[in-house]
Structure 1
């Protein structure tokens, strides 16, 4: 089935958006699919009137555009629902785990992973905070199993690996180079790349030469997306009480002995430089011989993912007007 229709977005309305990458959204065509997937995920994975429910609902209160319409505009229609559910699930997991001590977060991730294995289906223990999330993930696994698509099992294995490794490093980072691999892991980026391929019905493994080029493209987009999130989320995260800071701004502050605003400006420059690499790779793909449509479509989707996510980060109230304890108060 053909992807949703995607419209170009005029980014000049957002003064804070500094990326040169073009933005598109399939929100107009896909709104009902996105809304239903979000409703199911948020209701299954959070409890009404809790901090987690309010964070999830606020995350999608962005008048500039829905994050999934902006980031997943090349998804196949029948698979967009699952892509939304998987990513929203991971966003809720992140919101829950960031408030936990490191050791407890590792335990809760391990409990969630049980939902991906049939041998744990009789184990109803849902941990201290993950609650209905384990059952939600199990139901998706069973639903995909009924469809008997081999690639779906590979996708679930990628999710299992992501849950295993995310938030698995204790301590701080001395340099940006040492931080980036962790940041991409905690961004669930390898899984996101597999999910984008799966949602587009693109092979999860291309030919050897094309796979090398795809991985290079993935690496650059992963740096752009994760560091852009750090750039725009810093104002919110600097006020959070946590036993681990996971943001590039304090890493650069430490590495170069800078105040935070100078470190943030430096981070912006690094992101812009990475976008130059995207343009170089686009030329190589456009002019290369024997480049498949699968690779061209996949790298186009990755570029739109980076641009859409950057635009969303630049415009979302979650970062520009962070919620306060008063917002989380019980009604």
Structure 2
């Protein structure tokens, strides 16, 4: 099925949106709205308990009047796969909400238990861990759905997810430079899996021919830096409030404060400049692809730019990052 219809978004009315990328949304397509809402409701009800802080956070995440997160980010995905993308992505958001409240060692154990859902040999193992039981059951059903498709690309996607869950919170280091922090930020964002998931959703091969793959990976890296640091830029005030209750805060703002011996305000200004610099690099590379790239590669690069733009716009407008923390509950 082709992608849902999408429309451009007027970003000039949003003073907090500083990205140079244009934004589109499929929020005005009633079928898209229905598909996304059904996927969200299914995931949230399956992975969180009624009245829990995780459920409140999930619902609050999607209370943005400026646009739905997935409606903004998934404008070029095939219509029959958007539901799966929304489910997987929301699932990972919920996992993140749960794990960030656990000490590092406990989070590592819970991730290992969760990964069992990706293997049939553990289906008879009823141990649900301390916090991941519902999520493990949900992920097991998602695995079964993809395996039933009998598609090698779907199986490869599940392998990438397993690696992502293994790596996402496996480092307990404190980072002192942005250069050292960025690879961790992409890993903690499940970015490799997100890229593969979006390719799968667009029916773009998960492994392209050598030169196409090189350019695609180069562009994906730039977009990964942009979305990861954009999240840090807008989420910092919320995360700062969690310092007393969490044993690890992963954000580029304190990294830049340490690296350059600057104030919080100066670090945020520096971070904004880094994001815009990476956007310029991405735009330069896209221009090269437009000249000599295949139609498939051009489509993929456009989709990744729209993904980054939609995510940046959501971060700039969502209540989760733009209201005081005590208003979220």
| Structures share fold, TM-score greater than 0.5 | yes
State how far apart, in whole Å, the 2-side matches of 1:245 and 1:223 are.
18
The CA distance in 2 between the partners of 1:304 and 1:113, in whole Å, is 30
Aligned partner of 2:103 in structure 1 is 101
The 2-side partners of 1:301 and 1:249 are apart by 28
Residues 327/312 of structure 1: CA separation in 2 closer, same or farther (3 Å cut):
closer
Asked if the contact 2:23/2:313 (under 8 Å) is kept, the reply is: yes
Aligned match of 1:277: 281
- The equivalent of 2:77 in structure 1 is 75
Residue 189 (structure 1) shift: 0.2
The whole-number CA distance in structure 1 between the counterparts of 2:66 and 2:58 is 17
Residue 179 (structure 2) aligned to one of 177, 180, 187: 177
Post-superposition offset of 1:171: 2.3
1:45 matched residue in structure 2: 47
1:133-180 Cα offsets, whole Å, 9 max, x none, are 000000011111112111100000010000000011112101000000
Residue of structure 1 equivalent to 2:145: 143
Which 4+ runs in 1 deviate beyond 4 A? Answer: none
The whole-number CA distance in structure 1 between the counterparts of 2:116 and 2:194 is 20
Aligned residues: 325
Name the residue aligned to 1:28: 28
Give the drift of 1:322. Answer: 4.2
- Map 1:260-299 onto structure 2 (within 5 A): 260-288=264-292, 291-299=293-301
Range moving further from structure 2, 223-232 or 279-288: 279-288
Range that drifts further, 78-87 or 23-32:
23-32
Q: Is the 8 A contact 1:75 1:196 kept in 2?
A: yes
- From 247, 250, 253, the counterpart of 2:257: 253
Q: Name the counterpart of 2:216.
A: 214
Cα separation, 2, equivalents of 1:84 and 1:233: 21
Matching residue of 1:157: 159
Given the alignment of the two structures, is residue 4 of structure 1 paired with residue 4 of structure 2, yes or no? yes
> Which of 126, 134, 146 matches 1:124?
126
Q: For 1:283 and 1:171, how far apart are their aligned partners in 2?
A: 37
In the other structure, the counterpart of 1:17 is 17
The answer to whether the 8 A contact 2:241-2:325 is kept is no
- CA distance in 2 between partners of 1:299 and 1:283 (Å): 10
The separation in 1 between residues aligned to 2:164 and 2:149, in whole angstroms, is 23
Distance 1:118 1:150 in 2: 17
Q: Offset at 1:45?
A: 0.1
Secondary structure in 1 aligned to 2:16?
coil
Cα pair 2:39 2:87 within 8 Å, conserved? yes
1-structure distance, mates of 2:119, 2:99: 22
Per-residue CA shift, 1:39-91, capped at 9, x if unaligned?
Answer: 00000000011100000000000000000011111110110000000000000
Does 2:247 align with 1:243?
yes
Instruction: Work out the CA distance in 2 between the residues paired with 1:93 and 1:327.
Output: 18
Contact 1:172–1:245 (8 Å) recurs in 2: no
Listed as ranges, the gaps of 5+ residues in structure 1 are none
Aligned partners of 1:171 and 1:244 also within 8 Å: no
Q: Distance in 2 between matches of 1:101 and 1:34?
A: 33
Q: CA RMSD in A?
A: 0.9
Structure 1, residues 207-266: CA drift from partner, whole Å, max 9, x if none?
100100000000000000000000000010011021112000000000000111110000
